[in-house]
Amino acid sequence: MSDRIIAAIDRISEVAGKAIAWLILPLSFALGYEVASRYAFNRPTTWAFDASYMMYGAYFMLASAYTLSKDGHVRGDIFYRNFSPRTQAIVDLTLYFLVFFPAMVALIVAGWRYFAASFLIRETSPLSPYATPVYPLKAVIPLGAALLLLQGIAQVLRCVHAIRHGRWP
C-alpha cells in the first residue's frame, strides 16, 4: 500500500516539476533579450526584470518537490553517508518531523496569508513601470510548500520502509 502512495506522490511531483521546467525557455528568452537589448543596442527593456524574477521565483518554488523526490537537495553528509540505511532513515524521519513538516505548515499558512493580502489589494510591483501584479507570484509560495509537504509524506514512507527492511526502497 505504501509503495502505491509513494509512487502516486512521486508522480505528482514529477508532473509538476517537468511542467514547471518549461519556464526555463521564456526565462532564458527574457534574460537573453534584455542582455542583447541593453548591451548590443543600448535599449534596455522595462519588462524583462519583472518577467525574469517572477518566472525564476515560480520555477524555484514549484520545482522543489520534484528535486526532493529525486534526492537532489544539498545534504551535509560527512557522517550520514557512513550510516546504515536504517540509521539514515531514523535521522531523516526525526528531522522530517522536527524541522521539515513544521516549516512547511508554517510556510503554507504564512504564504497563504501573504498571497491573500496581496490579492485583496491587487498588489503591484513598486519597481515596475507597468505596475506588474505580484499576487500571482505570491500564490506560488503556499502552492510550492504544499507540493513539498506532499512529497515529504512520500519521503517519510520511504524512511519507514528503510527502518523496517534495512534498505531504501
Cβ proximity of 121 and 41 under 8 Å: no
Structural domain boundaries in the chain: 2-165
Q: What's the pTM? A: 0.89
Q: How many CB atoms lie within 10 A of CB 47?
A: 14
Distance between CA atoms of residues 101 and 153, nearest Å? 9
Instruction: State the amino acid at position 33 in one-letter form.
Output: Y
Please give, one letter per residue, the 3-state secondary structure of the chain: CHHHHHHHHHHHHHHHHHHHHCCHHHHHHHHHHHHHHHHHCCCCCCCHHHHHHHHHHHHHHHHHHHHHHCCCCCCCCCCHHHCCHHHHHHHHHHHHHHHHHHHHHHHHHHHHHHHHHHHHCCCECCCCCCCCECHHHHHHHHHHHHHHHHHHHHHHHHHHHHHHHCCCC
Cβ proximity of 129 and 118 under 8 Å: no
Tens-binned pLDDT, residue by residue, of the chain (169 aa): 789 999 999 999 999 999 999 999 999 999 999 999 999 999 988 888 888 889 999 999 999 999 999 988 887 788 888 999 999 999 999 999 999 999 999 999 999 999 999 999 999 988 788 888 999 999 999 999 999 999 999 999 999 999 999 999 8
- Residue that the C-alpha cell 527593456 belongs to: 45
